[in-house]
Every structure is written in C-alpha cells, then in structure tokens.
Structure 1
Amino acid sequence: MAPCASATSATLPACCSGRKRKWMEPSGRVVAQRAARAQVRMMRPTPLAERIPDMKLEVLGSGGAVATPKPLCACSACVKARKKGGRHARLGPSVFLHGPDILIDTPEEISVELNRSRVRNIGAVLYSHWHPDHTAGRRLFEMNIEWNRSQKENRTTPVILTEKIAETFGSYLSIMSQFDYFRSIGIVDLRIVKNDEEFTLNGCTIKPVQMAYDYSFGYCIAEGGSRCLVIMDELKNWEPDAAILSTRFDAVYLPLGVLDANPITGEQLIEAGHPILEDEQTANETLAIVRKLNAGRFVLSHIEEPDCIGYAFARKLSRLYSKRTGKRIDLAFDGMLV
C-alpha cells in the first residue's frame, strides 16, 4: 500500500503503521520505478523534425565492445547511467550520416538506437569490420520484410562492402551466410567494391581507408563542399597517407582508445607489457594522430565501459584534450549531432 499523500511529518502515517523503514527511505517499488524511468530515458525517441538537409553526422552509439551500463556492474559510471540514462549511458558503436542517409555499422542495440534517433530513412549501409560489436545487429534488415501478407515486394537496402570486409564476413560469425540469405529474400542489395575504390553513393563520394589491421576500414566522405573522415575502430598502428594529411575535413570521427594512464595525473593504469596494449590504441596514441590531421572538429568515440568515463568526466576530458592539442575535441555521447 502506498503512503498517504497528505502525510507531512517524518513519521509513518497510520495506513503504513508497522513498517520499520523511515519515511524518506525509498521502497523497493520506488527504486524499481526510478530505474524504469531511467531506462525509458535511454530509449526515448527524438521527435521527428524536418529532414536534416546538409550532411550531418549523428552518433547513434558512442560505446565500445561493452555497453554502459554493463549488466551487474556497480561502478560509478554504470550506477549513474542506470539512474539518469540519456547522455550518461552508451550503447554499441554506430553513426548515421544525414544527407546521404548512410548508416555505418549495426551493433546489437541498433534497433534501440534508431528508434530514439533523428533518422527517417536508411539509404545505404557501410561496415567498418567484422567484430560483433559492429555487426551483431544484422537482424535490423528484417524491417524490410512485408509482414502484412500483401502483394507488395520486400524493401531493399543497399549494403556496400570492401573486398576484404566481404572476405572476413565469410570467415567469421557466419556473417556472409546471413547476408546471402537476406539477399535471397530481397531485403538487401549486396555490393562489393575494391579495397581502395572510390565510389559514389546517394550524391556523395566515398573513399575506403584501409587500416593497419587490414580487415578494418574507415571512410572519407565528401558531399558538395563538406568532408568528413569516419574511422569507427581499430586505429592501432595506422598512419594517414599524404592525401588524408593534405585534406581539410569539417569533422574527423575516431575511436578514443583505452586509458593506459590517468589523463589528468599521469598515473599508469595499465602496466607496460599488458597484452591489451599490443592490440588496442591508447588515448595518447589517438591524440598523436589528431595532431597530424586538419579538421574543424574531432569527435572521439568507441568509449569503453572499463575506462569508467561518465558524461561529466567526458566533458572534462574534451576540454583537457582540446587544450593539449590546440584542436577542438569532443568526446561523443549517444545522440550527438556533428
């Protein structure tokens, strides 16, 4: 039974007599309701405004391989993400380019991300690489199936893969087998391009950028006078070529990298020689790349839950990194529009 709304004292009203908890202590029901409201805030859709006319990048998910909040985790970032939702929570890595209407990567949570986004149409889909945090939401394409038993044909979404990505999709997680099935029922149009082939798509020009880990790609995307560079992940050991170094980008989107050291105190957080440092880019290595590139704005994403970077700390890091590099740097959050 709920407490009487008219009660004003710190003691329990008569209808709640016998309860031992204090008046101001939330019940289990209240705690559950608060958690539910936070979950709603994480999933709340953005009102469908007018179509965004110019090329804009919307961050659908700013997290990495581990979402924030991580199930069962009691760290400060996860506790706050559960309580507040919104910008404090991070889902899997994905971005959307308004204008050409291009979706890049489909993590497990892509349906939730799209339902709360400004996206009104998906003109095509690109992939960065085969890892499950970037591909495991492939069932998204089943939205193209006409389930109402009408005579209408299924809708079809173009999916463009480089040759190397297509090869790895055939080697891992049965990804290509699933796309072959989707193609057979007409819900995707699978197109393969050469690893270094520049192509046009929905009015923009796209050039794949192969990473040092050759199974992974970024994309240089140009539309009219706007140019952006989007690299979703796997930045380790990558060196930008002369063409990229000589290009002035409106925005560059990069993975933050792991925090091997406290960015404020310099305290070492990951000991030298740890296996993760052999494969994963560190934040300091990412900043070294930022210093080489010419862009009006840098957005750092793929923010991993183990680094415990909440929204407030992310804003602090944005200011710190901007000051250290002399460039405008922002750490991403879900729903950010660049």
Structure 2
Amino acid sequence: MRIGIPRGLLYYDYAPFWKAYFEGLGHEVVVSRPTSKKILDQGTFVCVDDACVPVKIFHGHVMDLMGRCDVIFIPRLVSVCRDEYTCPKIIGILEMIKNSIPGDMDILTIAINNHKDMDMERKSYINLAKKINEKKLDVYRIVDNAYAIQKHTDEETIRKWTSLDGNKKAIGLIGHPYITQDSYINMNIMRTLEGEGYTVILPENITEKEIWHECDKLPKKLFWSHGRRILGGGLAMAESRKVSGILFISSFGCGIDAFMGELLERMNHNQYKLPYTSIIVDEQTGQAGVNTRLEAFLDMIEWRKKDEIDISKHGEGIHISQGAVGGSGY
C-alpha cells in the first residue's frame, strides 16, 4: 500500500518516525512535493479564509498527494505531552480536510492523546500497526525501531546546539518547524542567514532539559506543547549568550505565536537585551520585504559588535548637564 504523508504541520516533527514506521510494516511512503506557489494557491483556494497560512499549505500538500497514493495519513494529535495540548487547528485539521477538499480521498488516521497517559501514543501506533500489518510482522519491534530512529534524529539535531562554540556567529531563529524549515513560506530565511556567515539555531536544537528549566521559571505552566518549546528554546538561547540575536518568525493569525512572541520579547528586553526582531508571514508575504527586515536586523547586530554597544538607546532620556548653555536640561 502506498501511504501519502503531507509535507506540512507536524511532518517536520515526526517524519523520521512515520517513515520508519510505515516502511517497517512493508508499505511505501509517498511524501508530497516541497511547498511551492502551486501548492499554496491550491490550499488557499479550498481552505477557510481565516486559517493561518501553514494550515492552508497543509491543504495544498494533501491535494498534491491525491492520485499519487492509496491513502493519505492525517493523524489527530490532541496531546503529545502530559497536561499539555497541541494547537486547536492541528487537533481539528482532519475535519477541516474532510470538509474542505472535494473529491474521493481515502484517509488513514490515528488519535494520539497523551494528556493523562504518556504511553497512549505507543499503544495507538501499535493498534494501528495491527490493522495495516498485511505481512504479519512483529509490530512491537517495528514501533520500537521507529522510536529509536526518531530519537537518534532528535539527538543529532540537538548536537548542533551542544557543540556550538560561544565565539561563533549564531542567530536564534524562533518559530514552529513548519515555518522555520519550510523554505518557501519563510522566503529562504535560513539560507540567507547562513549566507551571511551565521549558524542558525532552532528551538528543536535545544535540549528538553534546558527548555523545561527555562519554562519552570514562569509563574504558570504553559499548556501548549509547541508554545513551550518556542518560548523555552528562545530563553535558553538568550540565557546561554551563544547567539548574537533572536529572530521570531510566525504566521499571521496564530494565537499561540502572538502570546509566545510577546512573552519572549518582553523577557529578552528585561533580562538579556539581545537584538530582537519579528517577521510575520502569510500567503501575501514577498521576498523583498523579508530581505529588508533581515538586512536591518543583521546590521543592528554588526553595529553592536563593532561599536561595543550592548544597551539599546530606545527609551533613554535626553539629558543636558547643568553647566550647559540653554538651561538645566530635560
């Protein structure tokens, strides 16, 4: 059986696991093509208007798979961590797809809710494997092997952060992986930063221990798993002083990003005072606008290094000494 996986939303978190899982069961995995104008336009045409652009892109990726596979895998991920939840649009993406995209489409799904029991995820994958195990293979071994491959991938991703030299030029790029790692919707922002000689650090590069350590400082527990990773990852970067600045990239209309971005910006301003800027993207975002913001942000970082200015002038009062001509000052 050919199982299609849309290259959007949580694909960037779980692609190694899903690929190893389905291929281990003897099925062929077909991934939708990288995001393009065609995929974005297709998704925008069928999706509800007030959805964020990553959701519209996901619709386009589902349409890209139609006719190229036997079933399309769209999981329902309610909770991936105890006492936490995913984005409401991720929880409801299955219903959005069913009601928005016309035509015949066979969907393979799975419900994952670790809100009360962290072992529910593994149980769910085992139950699904038993249903599609046409070759009567050892599903327990296959699921455990898929988890091992995902763990190895995550450890390799984290090694980029743990091995980072504090003297090396680095930028913290904060955002959901389906934005930071989708070069079409983010206007090749990673390639641009790397072309300027910077190492790009993502929240996925930060260890869970460091993320939890930073979020535990908050007066209240965050109940969005991806919001916790975004905020905790950004604070861990700032605390370490391994990055020269923080760039927050989000999609227009994302409530979680609006809240996490505001918290991160305020805490950075009050405690760390690193150069910080944000970029908001949607289906109308153009390359020129993003490049202008990036140039200004990188100029700010380079000027600070060159002139050894570590405190922003924003908000400082203008003072004239008492002996100066013109009075006592303001």
Shorter-chain TM-score range: under 0.3
TM-score, normalised with respect to structure 2: 0.27
Comparing both structures, which one devotes a greater share of its residues to helix? 2
TM-score, normalised with respect to structure 1: 0.27
